[in-house]
A and B are shown apart, each in its own frame.
Chain A
Amino acid sequence: MPYGRRAPITQKGGKILRSFGVALWFMFLTFPIMVIKISPLEKNIEWRWGRMIYVGAGAFVLSLLWRYVIEQKRGPIPKEEADPLKVDTKDTGWNRGGSHSLQERLAIFFHKNKKFRILTFTGLFFIIAAFPFVFSTYQTSIIITALMYVMLGLGLNIVVGLAGLLDLGYVAFYASGAYFYALMNHHFGLGFWAALPMAGALAAIMGLLLGFPVLRLRGDYLAIVTLGFGEIIRLVLENWNEFSLGPSGIARIDRPGTLGIDFDLRDHTVYLYYIVVVLVAFTIIVVSRLRNSRIGRAWIALREDEVACQAMGIDKTKTKLTAFALGATWAGFVGCILAAKTTFINPASFTFMESAIILSIVVLGGMGSIFGIILGALVLILLPEYLRAFSEYRMLVFGASMVIIMVFRPQGIIGGTRKRHEFHVKEPTGEKP
């Protein structure tokens, strides 16, 4: 029996019975928290037995569904175990034309059909350009947020996806960009356009500052130090009142300058929308160019094997530090945009949860894949927004969907594909040229 694969349930009704067991288990599990409600002041207990039935029924159905989906994913169980000694004559080790995944086939199709490609891009361009005029200010504002997270995701992807450095404190750079613009605007009246590149540069310097002490750390030690770094930044912002105006935050930050033209709120939102769209396009171009550049390939090599990478003459220190700095830059930009968008910031916007959400965008979307990250950001940011109908249940659904996506698609919605050259063996036709 291969590891991790349970014996298939063969007898009739076995699935039902097992799901029934799961339902009973969950009824037991949720009993104290779902059923009993105590009010500590009046010292009485409310028993909510009705909920137990819901839990039981829900667990039963979900368990059947879960098992069905997992079985579908694994494909049909082979009648006889494959003989490990029998060499599969068809597979010669070279990847042939027919064995591509759907995603790869789409990419190839997209690459070959020039007409189709142009059509798609023009269509996309018009949809994006027309969006704020078709939809309400509220919708536009949500999309702006989602696009900001696309940039954050792409930035973090440099550190986590390409260089393989697990950064749980990415929010620190985001916060420093936001506070830089807010404080500069508050004290010296610095405008958005001047602050934007400076915020990016500041974040890059912060990235270097964080990068130096953690160069020697690897894996999860790095994760906790970056997490600590993020928390330290937030706590300092919260407690150092003279510097950051404390937990009450900074209000009345200027929106992006508009060359003296008077804008109302809607115009401002539309204006910001276009700024963000242009910046996202810029990010996508830079990040995709970076990935295929010398430094980008060095990051990937570093992620795959540090020792081998050094043996090939790649400077580990320089490579890691550039990853931190270039990753952080985008967070600085987005922080600056956040301050300009909301015109109010406080330390509570920069908790660890924020880092976790950005990391989830990267991993859920598919590490290393730009399209995947865009999709991940749209899903993770728009999902809670449009789930507002369920208001109080939305975070519950959000957490559950993170688990479910990971369980059923561990490589993310769209897994990152590496550039590769393929070698196609032509079938020998029998005649010599």
Chain B
Amino acid sequence: MEYFLELFFGGLTRGSIYALIAIGYTMVYGIIQLINFAHGEIYMIGAFTALIAASALSIEGFGGWSLLVLAGFIAIVYSAAYGFTLEKIAYKPLRKASRLSPLISAIGMSIFLQNYVLLAQTSDFLPFPPLIEEFSFLEQVTVMRSSELLILSVTAVSTALLTLFIKFTRMGKAMRAVAQDKTMAMLLGVNVDRVISVTFIIGSTLAAIGGVLISSHIGQINFYIGFIAGIKAFTAAVLGGIGSLPGAVLGGMVLGWTESFATGYVSSDYEDVFAFGLLVFILIFRPAGILGKSTAEKI
């Protein structure tokens, strides 16, 4: 039972990180129908910026929670800036092109950003400082680490905030309008360019939060982490039903648990096989994902 709980919380933690990244995919997809393959790279850049900021700040004498908050804040600012710039350079000129062109541009951007970090920093794994302090009240609990608790609560808070933002603010309403019908929204005076930029900024922010937390939990990063995480998060987004926010969160959790239990009870070699196998299996029975609505095509 204890082993099960350990795997359960481990899966939940992983799932929350996938969910945080998947939200970025799903929002961008919902608005411009683009698989943003460079999204994983934004997450990686967030983690790297946090590492650099934390190292620089800790030499300056910062420590404890203030270090996590400051490094996390810098990472968020930079990730958001990268996400914003990425859209302006690689996707905005292609808004009217066929759907595959921005996809190739995204793959190119992903290769570019990976090699940029590789050349500017290093190809080695870098140790990530443990920014998350141990909670004293969790000392007796063996099934859950304090970093896991923090990741879960941060994910819960950020997704709740995001939901509120989309439900109740003007910008959130504009986002939903653009997702429904871009041309109509434009005709009604919604600044579509700005909505798209904000979407990229929000997605990048969440990816950076995920990047900082999970890197601190795992303890090492390199330039390649974004690629794997990106593909997994995209899987999560599709699993839940792409374009749907709760779907992304649910998909992330399901994927996290699948991987965690597959690793714990079968073999860690086949963890990805289980993840993708589950995806194929679910899509066969629900072709639009768990929470996705399959819309009938009007003629």
Contact = CB atoms under 8 A, between A and B. Distances in A.
Contact of B121 (A28, A33, A401): A33
A359 B55 CA distance: 40
A305 to B, nearest CB: 9
A123 interface: no
Interface string A345-367: 00000001000100110011001
A166 B55 contact: no
B276 A223 contact: no
Nearest to B272: A235
Contact of A410 (B82, B97, B267): B97
Given A225-B280, A407-B93, A166 B111 contact: no
A260 to B, nearest CB: 43
A160 B208 CA distance: 33
Interface stretch (B131-139, B142-150, B231-239): B231-239
A29 interface: yes
A224 B97 CA distance: 21
Interface in B88-102: 89-90, 93-98, 100-102
A78 interface: no
A221 B105 contact: no
Interface residues of A, number: 64
A224 B51 CA distance: 31
A44 B113 CA distance: 25
Nearest to A25: B85
A399 interface: yes
Contact of A399 (B33, B108, B120, B283): B108
Contacts of B121: 33, 37
A403 B33 CA distance: 18
A396 B105 contact: no
Given A29-B81, A33-B48, A43-B59, A406 B102 contact: yes
Nearest to A362: B100
A400 B108 contact: yes
A36 interface: yes
Interface string B18-52: 00000000000100010100000000010011011
A307 B115 contact: no
B273 interface: yes
Nearest to B281: A213
Interface residues of B, number: 71
Contact of A402 (B95, B104, B283): B104
Contacts of B53: 32
A225 to B, nearest CB: 6
Interface in A145-183: 160, 166
A23 B141 CA distance: 52
Nearest to A355: B107
Interface centre among B48, B74, B267, B279 (most CB of A within 10 A): B279
Interface in A6-58: 25-26, 28-30, 32-34, 36-38, 40, 43-45, 51
Interface string B257-277: 000000000010110110011
B288 interface: yes
B166 to A, nearest CB: 21
B273 A406 contact: no
Nearest to A398: B111
B105 A402 contact: yes
Contacts of B59: 43-45
Interface stretch (A84-92, A130-138, A226-234, A270-278): A226-234
A395 interface: yes
A422 B270 CA distance: 57
19 contacts: A28-B81, A29-B85, A36-B56, A43-B55, A166-B100, A214-B283, A225-B283, A238-B269, A239-B270, A239-B273, A363-B101, A363-B104, A393-B115, A399-B109, A400-B112, A401-B108, A407-B89, A407-B93, A407-B105
**Closest 7 interchain pairs by CB?**
A402-B108, A399-B112, A399-B111, A410-B97, A228-B276, A406-B105, A410-B101
Interface of B: 29, 33, 35, 45, 48-49, 51-53, 55-56, 59, 74, 78, 81-82, 85, 89-90, 93-98, 100-105, 107-117, 119-121, 126-127, 129, 186, 192, 231, 234-235, 238, 242, 267, 269-270, 272-273, 276-277, 279-280, 283-284, 287-289, 297, 299
Given A214-B283, A411-B101, 16 more contacts: A4-B96, A33-B117, A33-B121, A34-B120, A40-B129, A51-B120, A216-B287, A217-B283, A221-B287, A225-B279, A364-B104, A398-B111, A399-B112, A402-B108, A403-B105, A411-B98
